Amino acid sequence: MNAPLARPLVFHRPGDSELARRLRGVVQGEVLFDRASRGRYSTDASIYQVEPIGVLIPRSDDDVRAAVEICRELGAPMLPRGGGSSQCGQTVGAALVIDGSKHLRNVIAFDKEAMTVTVEPGITLDALNAWLRPHGVWFAVDVSTAAQATLGGMAGNNSCGSRSIAYGNMVHNVAAAEALFADGTEGWLGPEREMQGAGERVRALMTGLRAIAERECDEIERQVPKVMRRVGGYNLDVFHPQSERPYTADGSVNYAHLLVGSEGTLAWTRTLTLKVAPLPKHRTLGVVSFPTLYKAMELTKHIVTLGPSAVELVDRTMIELARSNPSFRPTIDGALVGEPDAILLVEFTGEDGETPRRRLDDLVALMGDLGLPGQVVRMPDAGPQKALWEVRKAGLNIMMSMKGDGKPVSFIEDCAVPLDHLADYVARLTEVFERHGTRGTWYAHASVGTLHVRPVLDMRRDGAAKMRAIAEEAAAMVRQYKGAYSGEHGDGLVRTEWVGWQFGPRLTRAFEEVKALFDPDGLMNPGKIVRGTKMDDARLFRYPPGYTPLKLDTALDWSAWDVNCDPVTEAVTAPGSGNDPAKGFAKAVEMCNNNGHCRKFDAGTMCPSYRVTRNEEHLTRGRANTLRLAVSGQLGPDFASEAVREALDLCVSCKGCRRDCPTGVDMAKMKIEFAFHWQKKHGLSLKDKLVAHMPKWAPWAARFPFIANLRDALPGAARLSERIAGLSAKRTLPQWRSDTFLSSRAAQAAAVDRPDVVLWVDTFNNYHEPENAHAALRVLQAGGYRVAVARAGASDAERDRPLCCGRTYLGAGLVDEAKHEARRMVDALAPHVAAGATVVGLEPSCLLALRDEFLVMGLGDEAQHLATRALMIEEFLAREQREGRLALPLKSLPQKKVLVHGHCHQKAFDVLNPAVAVLKLIPGLQVEVIESSCCGMAGSFGYEAAHYDVSMKMAELALLPAVRAAGDDTLIVADGTSCRHQIADGTRAIRPREAVHVVRVLASALDPVA
């Protein structure tokens, strides 16, 4: 077993417990000083890891005030934090982290006339824009992390969006700010002309700042890059504007702009007043294909003269990545002319439709004049435009999902160079990468000369040396081209060292004076922008040289992650060749790069528990970090620790992350692995045993259903079950039936020799809702298929017991028992598969286990073959229909509308669309999908007393309100057993609604006379 990593900044000083104690005494918010919480806040989207002293999640402004007071008295540093999506290490440090993103997220005031909105710092850009939309305006600094970036964080980093050429950076859009300084004083910072009434503290600041700026006037003129995208250092140039786009329209001074880009080093930002813009009424997009990347970059400067709102680059690698994805291929192919080496997405907006259309014509003409006639694809409609922007985003995500120790590293990702030099910069930097045995993919904001590129480096080995060498060469070019070394992402730990390089010793000293004016004791986010560490100080790395995970005997096969990847060719070595002592599990966990994409509340599934609690601990990122710390011994020598169990407790294994996480972090699978180690060490509770072994005792329950169902019939029995087994008394349990499907005459009769289809009926549908299985059989037979019903094989020692996927065992970590069930399934179905039959199932979490968990259980080739032929019934029917082999005799139903709730696994495996497609076969039926995350029941999760509240909150996020709003003429469809149960439970009190399996709707629409 390896020793925990030695890190220089692991703080647990004598004063820390005093800090925690005093905070707990006064604040209403959460005070987190335990090792795992500190670990979860020790990283952001950078390569660094520094353990904070502790974490405060303030519930109110008063909590922050109290914390500042206590920190000042104890001399403890403070670190403001929002979504923690910074790429440069701004939000990691040995300080008290104050995370405003959970509670401090209100809109305080909106002034439509002045076109301003005032917000608390923790609100995200998406949330703000959702609030503003009904007023016809938006906040236009459209960072690509809009779902997780908080306005406090965006101001802290002086963030910039894709449309900055039209709207500017944060600094151009912040009108005023209220600050809380480290000495406990407060002040309003805004336009100088409105600050006559400022208090003593702010007046002193104003005088001091002006004096420094006057003194350094000539040096500011000499050293501050003139490009718009300059976000490094402090904005001392507010007094002598240097940016090609002045911070204010009339060049006047706004003191709030000193806080913008200050990375939490000057003050806590209490509120921000922001300028809003009218929502563009019309957009149009022209996609220009270029024969070379060089040409694209060379001609960008001509394109921007047309006044576009965005010019975004997508290079060849990204084009190919997008084309390799079947769902993106049509979109990207439709945007290309021939086989370009790069494309530029050129967007125009306008109040009327005519202006953007004319601009698009101008673009076509311009490209002709520049020697590229016929190279523009016009996209005037919103649908294709949106699809193409999605492709661009997804391309980046695929790039980030590189397996192995080498990863694309962000450190020169946002250098900004004047457009005249963009082409040369790209060409020369590409050569630099080649010389260092790596390469980068280019994308993003060509319009403002800020191209994103991340060379692939292995920070555990020679990455640090290469990083410095590449950084130095890139910096020399940036200087030569009079660009900005930090053009979007800020300084943080990776670039504070370069502030002196960029601005020279005089301005560096001036910045230190600015810091001293605001924060004389150096308590606010120390080590950022001034007095920093070296970018390649390996002691601060998340993966320092020598980083080694613990040895772990894994239950599942993680060898697909245990590989290495060539940074240039991207060739991946054989599974299991990556030297991971945790047999690939550690490398799977390390796929989380902390980008924070899981902190979202949009239409996707990920992450239901975070959506309810808003706690980092209950976020996919928080869980991945907890596992990473545990598997590398940083939470102690024991992997199966309580800290990990707690972090995973509210994970409903929905697999939302498997689909929505850009790097495919599959927490549901990781939870199985952890549960295996946990139960080995700690054993199982009665409830876990009861649920896990259900496939074994189900036949007995079906034989004596009146006894098995007593829990819900006998007064007091439910409460007793809560006390003894932890099953919530507020829940009814699924009822056991003696008329199981497998014992029915229909099932017995369905025994054909060479079936086209084998209907496998899972434990839940067999014992609790056999009508679903009957409906499936009827539909398949009506489709003209020869159907067999899956049963245990002849050599199976438990021949009479129905087949089961083992899902309940997996949930409890009983992987060996689950493997036994899986083996029975594979053995029973292999002959059918070999004969070419398709296996269809009804319950998403059970059937899809055949395509997922079965493949990491070491079940061999037969399991692989089975996976290729295992389909949800709707997938099978939709496929047959598409290929012209299905003609179900369907008549219209009395109900004209159906609302579909997708089971999480259905969504994770993209199986919801087939359900919609088959429902649309019913004449006159209008099909609508509920934009819901997990229903909250998630197998046995919602039945547990400890999870009941969270479970109901998950359901109330979107699902139950949508169901309640549905009229009586609307059918509710849900394929998941537990989803149906949750809908029944959640609507029982007022207007009970029953959800049905999709196959029941199809069966009821079968025309008996056809």
Neighbour tally for 501: CB within 10 Å:
16
Q: How far is the CB of 215 from ligand FAD (least distance, A)?
A: 27
Burial zone of 25 (CB within 10 Å; 0-12 exposed, 13-18 middle, 19+ buried): exposed
CB 401 within 8 A of CB 591: yes
Report CA torsion sign: 698, 700, 702, 706.
Answer: negative
Site size with ligand FAD, rule: CB under 6 A: 37
CB 117 within 8 A of CB 106: no
Decide which of ligand FAD, ligand SF4, none touches 981; Cβ closer than 5 to 8 Å per partner kind.
none
One symbol per residue from 488 to 527: x for binding ligand FAD (CB under 6 A), - otherwise; what is it? Answer: xx-----------------------------------x--
How far apart, in whole angstroms, are the C-alpha atoms of residue 132 and residue 152? 17
Decide which of ligand FAD, ligand SF4, none touches 159; Cβ closer than 5 to 8 Å per partner kind.
ligand FAD
Site for ligand SF4 in 597-616 (CB under 6 A): 597-598, 606-609
The 3-state DSSP composition of the chain as helix, strand, coil percent (nearest 5) reads: 45, 15, 45
How far apart, in whole angstroms, are the C-alpha atoms of residue 602 and residue 147? 8
The DSSP letter of residue 784 is: T
How far apart, in whole angstroms, are the C-alpha atoms of residue 662 and residue 591? 10
One residue of 66, 154, 665, 959 binding ligand FAD per CB under 6 A = 154
Smaller CB separation from ligand FAD, 87 or 987: 87
Smaller CB separation from ligand FAD, 147 or 871: 147
Decide which of ligand SF4, ligand FAD, none touches 91; Cβ closer than 5 to 8 Å per partner kind.
ligand FAD
Question: What distances in angstroms separate CA 430 from CA 424, 434, 435, 439, 454, one per listed residue?
Answer: 10, 6, 9, 7, 11
Q: How far is the CB of 90 from ligand FAD (least distance, A)?
A: 3
Decide which of ligand FAD, ligand SF4, none touches 654; Cβ closer than 5 to 8 Å per partner kind.
ligand SF4
DSSP track, 172-226: GTEEEEEEE-TTS-EEEE-BGGG-TT--HHHHHHHHHHHHHHHHTHHHHHHHS--
Element (H, E) at 424: helix 422-435
How far apart, in whole angstroms, are the C-alpha atoms of residue 606 and residue 598? 6
Decide which of ligand SF4, ligand FAD, none touches 606; Cβ closer than 5 to 8 Å per partner kind.
ligand SF4
By the rule CB under 6 A, 623 interacts with ligand SF4: yes
By the rule CB under 6 A, 118 interacts with ligand FAD: no
- Please choose, out of 142-150, 280-288, 382-390, 705-713, the segment that lies near ligand FAD by the rule CB under 6 A: 142-150
Q: What is the CA radius of gyration of the chain?
A: 30
Q: How far is the CB of 657 from ligand SF4 (least distance, A)?
A: 3
By the rule CB under 6 A, 29 interacts with ligand FAD: no
Site for ligand FAD in 48-87 (CB under 6 A): 79-87
By the rule CB under 6 A, 156 interacts with ligand FAD: yes
Neighbour tally for 960: CB within 10 Å:
23
Is residue 525 left, alpha or beta, with left meaning phi > 0 and alpha meaning psi from -120 to 50? left
Amino acid at 724: I
Site for ligand FAD in 563-592 (CB under 6 A): none
By the rule CB under 6 A, 624 interacts with ligand SF4: yes
Return the exposure string of 549-566: e unless at least 16 CB atoms fall within 10 Å of the residue's CB, then b: bbebebbbbbbbbbbbbe
Tokens (6 digits) for 50: 């520094």
One residue of 665, 690, 833, 971 binding ligand SF4 per CB under 6 A = 665
What is the SS3 string spanning 80-112?
A: EECCCCCCCCCCCCCCEEEECCCCCCCEEEEEC
Smaller CB separation from ligand SF4, 486 or 845: 845
Decide which of ligand FAD, ligand SF4, none touches 153; Cβ closer than 5 to 8 Å per partner kind.
ligand FAD
Q: How far is the CB of 741 from ligand SF4 (least distance, A)?
A: 30
One residue of 30, 263, 298, 536 binding ligand FAD per CB under 6 A = 263
By the rule CB under 6 A, 96 interacts with ligand FAD: no
Tokens (6 digits) for 432: 């630099």
One residue of 153, 350, 633, 939 binding ligand FAD per CB under 6 A = 153
Q: How far is the CB of 651 from ligand SF4 (least distance, A)?
A: 3
Site for ligand FAD in 591-610 (CB under 6 A): 595
One residue of 89, 121, 168, 408 binding ligand FAD per CB under 6 A = 121
Decide which of ligand SF4, ligand FAD, none touches 160; Cβ closer than 5 to 8 Å per partner kind.
ligand FAD
- Please choose, out of 244-252, 357-365, 439-447, 665-673, the segment that lies near ligand SF4 by the rule CB under 6 A: 665-673
Decide which of ligand SF4, ligand FAD, none touches 335; Cβ closer than 5 to 8 Å per partner kind.
none
- Please choose, out of 385-393, 543-551, 590-598, 943-951, the segment that lies near ligand SF4 by the rule CB under 6 A: 590-598
Q: How far is the CB of 622 from ligand SF4 (least distance, A)?
A: 9
Element (H, E) at 841: strand 838-841
Q: What are phi and psi of 234, to 5 degrees?
A: -95, 155
**Comparing C-alpha atoms, which of 785, 654, 45, 869 is closest to residue 409?**
45
By the rule CB under 6 A, 90 interacts with ligand FAD: yes
Smaller CB separation from ligand SF4, 179 or 606: 606
Reduce the DSSP state of residue 50 to 3 states and report it: coil
**Comparing C-alpha atoms, which of 151, 167, 146 is closest to residue 119?**
151
**Comparing C-alpha atoms, which of 601, 658, 592, 412 is closest to residue 45?**
592
Smaller CB separation from ligand FAD, 489 or 614: 489
CB 81 within 8 A of CB 91: yes
CB 789 within 8 A of CB 750: yes
Distance of CA 673 to the CA centre of its chain: 22
Q: How far is the CB of 449 from ligand SF4 (least distance, A)?
A: 28
Smaller CB separation from ligand SF4, 118 or 634: 634
Q: How far is the CB of 462 from ligand SF4 (least distance, A)?
A: 24
One residue of 152, 168, 406, 986 binding ligand FAD per CB under 6 A = 152
**Comparing C-alpha atoms, which of 207, 205, 225, 204 is closest to residue 215?**
207
Smaller CB separation from ligand SF4, 328 or 674: 674
Q: How far is the CB of 583 from ligand SF4 (least distance, A)?
A: 21
CB 232 within 8 A of CB 242: no
One residue of 96, 160, 313, 814 binding ligand FAD per CB under 6 A = 160
- Please choose, out of 632-640, 660-668, 692-700, 824-832, the segment that lies near ligand SF4 by the rule CB under 6 A: 660-668
By the rule CB under 6 A, 655 interacts with ligand SF4: yes
One residue of 54, 58, 241, 264 binding ligand FAD per CB under 6 A = 264
- Please choose, out of 66-74, 151-159, 848-856, 892-900, the segment that lies near ligand FAD by the rule CB under 6 A: 151-159
- Please choose, out of 154-162, 202-210, 320-328, 952-960, the segment that lies near ligand FAD by the rule CB under 6 A: 154-162
How far apart, in whole angstroms, are the C-alpha atoms of residue 802 and residue 763? 7
By the rule CB under 6 A, 594 interacts with ligand SF4: yes
Q: Residue 983 contacts by C-beta under 8 Å, 6 or more apart in sequence?
A: 901, 935, 955, 959, 960, 963, 972, 974, 993, 994, 995
Decide which of ligand FAD, ligand SF4, none touches 242; Cβ closer than 5 to 8 Å per partner kind.
none
Report CA torsion sign: 631, 634, 638, 644.
Answer: negative
Tokens (6 digits) for 79: 């670190």
Using CB under 6 A as the criterion, which residues of the chain lie in contact with ligand FAD when the complex forms? 44-45, 79-87, 90-91, 100, 121, 143-145, 148-150, 152-154, 156-157, 159-161, 263-264, 268-269, 488-489, 525, 595
Using CB under 6 A as the criterion, which residues of the chain lie in contact with ligand SF4 when the complex forms? 592-598, 606-609, 620-621, 623-624, 651-657, 661-663, 665, 667-668
